[in-house]
Amino acid sequence: MNKAKASSEKSVSASSRTISLLSQLEKINLDPVLGESDSARHVTSKILHLVQSQEKTRKEMTSKGSTGIEIILSTLENTRDPQTIVNILNILIEIVSIGGGRRASVLVTKGGTQILLQLLLSASKDSPPNEELMVLLHTLLAKIGPKDRKIGVKARINGVLNISLNLVKHNLQNHRLVLPCLQVLRVYSTNSVNAVSLGKNGVVELMFKIIGPFSKRNTSLMKVALDTLAALLKSKTNARRAVDRGYVQALLTIYVDWHRHDSRHRYMLIRKGVLQCIKSITNIKLGRKAFIDANGMKILYNTSQECLAVRTLDPLVNTSSLIMRKCFPKNRLPLPTIKSTFHFQLPVIPASGPVAQLYNLPPDVDDVVDESDDNDDAETESEIETEIDDDKDQHFKNDDIETDINKLKPRQELGRSIEELKMYEQFFPELSENFQEWDLVSKEPKPFVPDANLSGPIVVPTASEEHSAVANPSTKGVALKECSPLLTEECNRRPVFLELPKKDSAKGGSLHQQNDQRNMLPSSQCLSQEIVKGLDRISLQNSAKNDQYSGTGCVIEKENKAGITTLASSKPCEHVSPCGGSLFEGSSVQLGKLCCTGVDSEEEEDSRSSSSGEHAALQVSDVSPVHDCDLYLEMVKNTKSIPEYSEVAYPDYFGHIPPPFKEPILERRYGVQRTKICQDIERLIHQNDIIDKVVYDLDNSSFSVPEEADVLKFNSKFESGNLRKVIQIRKNEYDLILNSDINSNHYHQWFYFEVSGMKTGIGYRFNIINCEKSNSQFNYGMQPLMYSVQEALRCRPCWTRVGTDICYYKNHFSRSSIAAGGQKGKSYYTITFTVTFQHKEDVCYFAYHYPYTYSTLKMHLRKLESMHNPQQIYFRHDVLCKTLAGNSCPLVTITAMPESNYYEHIYQFRNRPYIFLSARVHPGETNASWVMKGTLEYLMSNSPNAQSLRESYIFKIIPMLNPDGVINGNHRCSLSGEDLNRQWQNPNPDLHPTIYHAKGLLQYLAAIKRLPLVYCDYHGHSRKKNVFMYGCSIKETMWHTSVNAASCDLMEDPAYRALPKILSHTAPAFCMGSCSFVVEKSKESTARVVVWREIGVQRSYTMESTLCGCDQGKYKGLQIGTRELEEMGAKFCVGLLRLKRMSSPLEYNLPSNLLDIENELIESSCKVTSPTTYVLDEDEPRFLEEVDYSAESNDEDVELADNVGDYEATNQDDGLSDPDSTRIHLS
């Protein structure tokens, strides 16, 4: 007790002593006579003793409200006594040495930098300068300098730049003085003007007198000198001076010397300092050339390979990789032009924009690469600093957020006359139908009766010809590629495969005779390797020349009674349901049933989805058939593609069912990106090992597929396919180049291609080398998809996530300014993955995401139409318009039939609110189609909730807004070469017919006062996880701008948040935290914003589904599949039903606890991550292994932390509970 009391008294005593001494010092400052006496020296000596001995005193001096620093600095500014100055400098050094940067910042804000610089200037005039004073001054400036962003400007204005430089020049052997002087020079050099000025005075040459070969002496000085040199060399002028004097070779020599002698890795910071100097020099073109000429690539490659075994040397390996990647000579993408291989002449050429520029390019212009890849030629000797340092203190401002409240306020504008809009009346017959001629008595479900036209095999002609809507089975059949005589001879040893005979009784090619012929064959396994060898692509022929084909084949049969096509196999299939074609004898396998029939009742749904955060076991459910192989071929015949495709991809023909197992997000192997980059660098170092052979080329019409046994065969000539060129790099490594969107020169992301000729047990590396986005979910656990025909024949017809060693990084292929929107020096990016095939001589397909073709949509719509009960479901399938290529854009209407044709029931029918849905405006976002499939199938199902939903709303659905883009394998654009989701403000009927007429439908509804309750456009998101929504809110937009005052009194109905909130509680994949309701300028011409602002739909949304997977909820840690996507589509419908139930008959007033947006948004950590993308959370955590010197900028370097290594990106647990574990109770 006495000790504690004594300690307390001592503390109070020390505190009072400090205050007393500071008070004395203040009085001395006010009395000029006392200032020259020994009093100041005595007082400052006592304060120094207290500061050195007690942390409490140091804290008091810099605490809030304390005037201690001001008094000390005032004394320093006024005194002339050398000892007093030394005392004060020591006091300040003690204060800022401990306590982090905050105390140094206090000193800066009190004007300490200016006082110290003035003192340095006056002290330099002494001859000789006081060494002790100079050491202390430079030590203090080195400590506070990094906290003063304007120190470079202040030093230049005060004329002290060369003082430190001259001290180093004249005292090279005095390490005690040189060390702090170098630290100050490093701080000065962060200002580019200062760096140039110092360079002209010989600072670069001076640094090379200090640094040198390996030595254990003066390593601290060596480290600081290297850091200073690296900062100086960031100036392009200094870098050129270093190149001219041959310092690149000198630095490489020094690095190798330290690398060889530092066997115990004690001087890693010095070695990294040398690399940082090389990194700074190689920022300029001359530096990169000097590095290559000095054999720098091989030197750094060899040294980094020797460092791989020691994990602590990862910073050296990463920096070396960064330098080598930067210096790797920019290669030309091996293409004749970056424009699409396929050409479509537009009916109207836009007056301006990228498409107009494309059409106006002279024919002899090389659009693949610029004359100079490095934008260095325009550099000037004088580098003028833009002194806007104060702006750096401000938080990043998103200039893309709309701040004009007048523009934000929705204003209903029809844009077209009532007379013109009457053309859309034909698409709304439900508003005038009186149902007097309809039989509305029976409520029993109508049994499915198959279309008589589908009873036999059909031929699929090329889409270049005109065809009637219904095929004539007596004259058409499916033809196959002619098989080799060798395969014909093998018919006795294996089953006939995929032969689709013509239904012609005159020639005896009847289905019965074909079945008899098949039954005569000896039984054999359908999974023989030779079968896949003989399994060639399904061809679309204009006519069938023979009813019997040579070679292996297959017979398709239908069971007339059941109306189900079967896929026969010699092995029973446990996981698959019947599909459309009998390929082999044996047990039938069923393909495709509605994945969402499991969502029958809300009660069952709640019990299933209310499970905890554990991963759900994925099971294949038995559902009604929606995939029919024969019907798919019938749909393909009227699909018009620009290349006039004549082949059908097997996955689209066979169909897809979700695999019965979970597919977790891939854990990235340590160091995988570094390894891949090293292998790329080896291409330059070991050029003789590179094969560099073209094995697939769409640009060369005469190109033939190589016949070598050890070379993979590629193909993409089918609907939605995208692969332009393939180059074999090494024996089992291939570079793949994607095709641009038609009438565009970019948008390379979607891929879908076929591979054959593989061997088992070999890892094949695929590099897609012309991607454009700066980052991808491939860096965060996403895998590409593969479909194996062998597996499909084994009754497992499904797309599965495959690939190891997956990463996405910037490569050495240069993008021209034409391809990069006018920006020079841009590079392409590489998606790389390695696949080991399970089956020899298989035929496999790879895709960016689960393919969903236009023909698949037509098939699904036809199946849904044929299976529904017309007495219960009102279903219409109209053609909204024709696309540029002449394909039909489908428009679907779904609601419940009225209970009777009495007035009350007809009135209720006609006055149901509309729900307007659309999808697939971006062709590469195939997940949107799978979500739409789930929505359509739920709406057409027989569940009580689906019936209730139909009785509540009329659904107008455009399931595919961009058929042409989907058919031709585009990623984002239509045939017009434009993003259709940026054309909603002023769509051109000739260039954007689907958008023009979709908007017309909505304008018509607005004109007749029947605004949709909800509009939702389904999309896919390539850089975020989960499913989420973007909506529109004036208030939330204003909250995230500086115009807060205007929004304080703004009244806004928060009902726009209701549907997302409901989905966050009912849909496992949905994440409310990723939703945003901010309106951005760059999105003002999107469907969501235009429908909200011009049409007046308050609940106007974009629903984004991840391409990767989920990091929250029931599916946390799993990649998303078609089952989850279809479930999301079904859950969206359930959300609409709950939205209906929670609203009153007259007004949609929602519970206040559901829509407490004020508290939710204030508590959430809102972050603006880019000028054009607003989200509530960062897209991804920083992936520390990325050694890419820049993801977004024009190849400018981004400094990595000293200890950055190949760390795995982890999805941090955000503490969110499973959204299904919490339910909202609606009264």
Catalytic site residues?
Answer: 1104
Asked if the peptide bond before residue 128 counts as cis, ω within 30 degrees of 0, the response is yes
Q: What's the rounded Cα separation, in Å, for the pair 937 and 1125?
A: 12
**Under 8 Å between Cβ of 531 and 483:** no
Report in angstroms the alpha-carbon separations of 1059 from 916, 949, 1012, 1106: 14, 15, 14, 19
Looking at 526-611, which runs of residues are DSSP E strands? 538-539, 558-559, 564-565, 567-569, 587-589
**Under 8 Å between Cβ of 1106 and 1027:** yes
* Per-residue DSSP letter, 912: S
Report in angstroms the alpha-carbon separations of 644 from 160, 801, 859, 1094: 74, 30, 20, 39
Q: What's the rounded Cα separation, in Å, for the pair 322 and 297?
A: 11
Inter-axis angle of helices 131-144 and 161-170, nearest 10: 130
Report in angstroms the alpha-carbon separations of 265 from 257, 269, 1142: 13, 9, 68
- The residues facing 401 across adjacent strands are 1080
Report in angstroms the alpha-carbon separations of 153 from 107, 113, 382, 1137: 18, 11, 16, 65
Please list, in sequence order, all residues whose beta carbon lies within 8 angstroms of the beta carbon of residue 571, skipping any fewer than 6 positions away. Answer: 525, 526, 527, 586, 587, 794, 795
Q: What's the rounded Cα separation, in Å, for the pair 713 and 715?
A: 7
Residue 913 Cα to chain centre, angstroms: 36
Inter-axis angle of helices 219-232 and 268-281, nearest 10: 20
Token look-up 């999301």 returns 1128
**Under 8 Å between Cβ of 648 and 636:** yes
Token couple for 385: 């600093």
Report in angstroms the alpha-carbon separations of 259 from 213, 300, 317, 977, 1224: 10, 10, 12, 53, 64
Pairing of strands 1014-1021, 1099-1106: parallel
Amino acid identity of residue 131, one-letter, is: E
Counting Cβ atoms within 10 Å, is residue 262 exposed (0-12), middle (13-18) or buried (19+)?
middle
For 220-253, b/e burial (b = at least 16 CB within 10 A) is: ebbbbbbbbbbbbbbbbbbbbbbbeeebbebbbe
Q: Where are the alpha helices (DSSP H) in 201-313?
A: 203-210, 219-232, 236-244, 247-261, 268-281, 285-293, 296-307
Q: What's the rounded Cα separation, in Å, for the pair 1117 and 630?
A: 38
**Under 8 Å between Cβ of 230 and 280:** yes
**Under 8 Å between Cβ of 772 and 836:** no
Report in angstroms the alpha-carbon separations of 148 from 114, 144, 267: 10, 7, 30
Amino acid identity of residue 730, one-letter, is: R
Q: Sign (positive/negative) of CA torsion 1078, 1084, 1087, 1091?
A: positive
Please list, in sequence order, all residues whose beta carbon lies within 8 angstroms of the beta carbon of residue 659, skipping any fewer than 6 positions away. Answer: 618, 796, 798, 800, 1121
Assign 3-state DSSP to the chain and report helix, strand, coil percentages, each to 5: 40, 10, 45
Token couple for 1: 């007790």
**Under 8 Å between Cβ of 640 and 867:** no
